[in-house]
């Protein structure tokens, strides 16, 4: 008798679901890993951003630091505070502001004739008090030796500054006309020497040398055009900056513990 053939099994048309399910599973795992990595990087970025904003804009208080740790516990261990150094920005106290106003009045009185002639300007800013003196008042052309007519006015200013403890910055500025002399090969040497002459006179009349610094900027910080004689004359100047008191301005905070 002939053998009866076995019935053929129907073709499984859903086998692709097995491969598709494996692919979806792997794809899901891949995105989970990518999301985890991106979340960590985002957290680090937020911590860095918050730290920079607080360091440059305002003093970070302990409450803000603790709050920063609470918002990013996955990255900040221990007390939840950022590790590193922070600067506490100087805030001018009302008493210091009043003292600077008194200094401004005294300097104004000492240089009143030159101020009226428009050859000296006294201004106040966030940094402190600035006394801008036209170089023609102090020095002969191409020289850094103080003229006798200017010594009396500068001596009066020195007596005022000797009574306060603020840091003092003396800046020498020139126009862009090159100078090549045996003493001053360029405007760098001339501007620095002029600032040094004023510092030396102040030191001789009671201003503590440790409070002062002399800087020469040559022609790199003009306040007027160098295209006209008037503008160049304005750029040839010496600035006396009486800076706000900075004691305790910067503090090193131990944020690692």
Least confident of 71-80, 110-119, 161-170, 203-212: 71-80
pLDDT in tens, 146-156: 999 899 999 99
Query: Which domain does 202 fall in, by range?
Result: 94-243
101 and 61, same structural domain? Answer: no
Q: Is residue 7 part of a domain?
A: no
- The total number of structural domains that make up the chain: 2
Q: Say if residue 231 is in the same domain as residue 135.
A: yes
One domain, residues 232 and 115: yes
Decide if 125 is inside a domain: yes
Considering the domain architecture, whether residues 164 and 200 belong to the same structural domain is answered as: yes
Structure confidence at residue 247 as a pLDDT band (50, 70, 90):
very low
Confidence of residue 41 (pLDDT cuts 50, 70, 90): low
178-187: b or e for each residue (b if 16 or more CB lie within 10 Å)?
ebeeeebeeb
Of 147, 78, 91, 77, residue with least CA distance to 119: 147
Measured between alpha carbons, how far is 29 from 23 in angstroms, rounded to an integer?
Answer: 10
In a domain, 252, yes or no: no
Q: What is the CATH number of the domain that holds 146?
A: 3.30.1330.60
Task: Give the pLDDT of residue 103.
Answer: 86
What integer is the mean pLDDT of 88-92?
51
Helical (H) or strand (E) element with 168: strand 168-173
Nearest CA to 111 out of 120, 102, 99 is that of 120
Highest-confidence segment of 40-49, 61-70, 118-127, 201-210:
201-210
The answer to whether residue 77 sits within a structural domain is: no
Same domain, 224 and 105: yes
Q: Quote the DSSP letter at residue 139.
A: B
Q: Are residues 134 and 235 in the same domain?
A: yes
Rounded distance between C-alpha atoms, residue 138 and residue 160, angstroms: 19
């Amino acid at each position: 008798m002939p053998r009866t053939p076995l019935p053929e099994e129907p073709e499984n048309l859903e086998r692709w679901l097995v491969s598709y399910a494996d692919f979806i599973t792997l794809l899901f795992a891949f995105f989970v890993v990518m999301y985890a990595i991106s979340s960590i990087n985002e957290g680090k970025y937020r911590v860095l951003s918050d730290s920079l904003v607080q360091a440059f804009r305002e003093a970070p208080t302990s409450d803000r630091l603790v709050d920063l740790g609470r918002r990013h516990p996955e990255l900040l261990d221990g007390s939840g505070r950022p590790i590193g150094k922070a600067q506490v920005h100087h805030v001018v106290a009302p008493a210091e502001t009043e003292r600077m106003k008194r200094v401004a009045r005294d300097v104004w009185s000492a240089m009143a004739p030159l101020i009226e002639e428009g050859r000296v300007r006294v201004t106040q800013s966030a940094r402190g008090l600035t006394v801008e003196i036209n170089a023609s008042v102090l020095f002969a052309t191409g020289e850094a030796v103080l003229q006798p007519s200017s010594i009396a006015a500068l001596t009066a200013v020195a007596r005022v500054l000797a009574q306060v403890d603020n840091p003092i910055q003396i800046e020498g500025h020139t126009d862009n006309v090159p100078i090549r002399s045996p003493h001053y090969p360029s405007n760098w040497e001339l501007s620095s020497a002029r600032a040094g002459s004023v510092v030396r006179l102040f030191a001789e009349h009671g201003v503590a040398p440790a409070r002062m610094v002399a800087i020469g900027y040559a022609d790199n910080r003009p306040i007027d055009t160098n295209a006209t004689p008037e503008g160049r004359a304005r750029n040839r100047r010496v600035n006396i900056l009486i800076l706000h008191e900075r004691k305790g301005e910067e503090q090193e905070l131990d944020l690692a513990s």
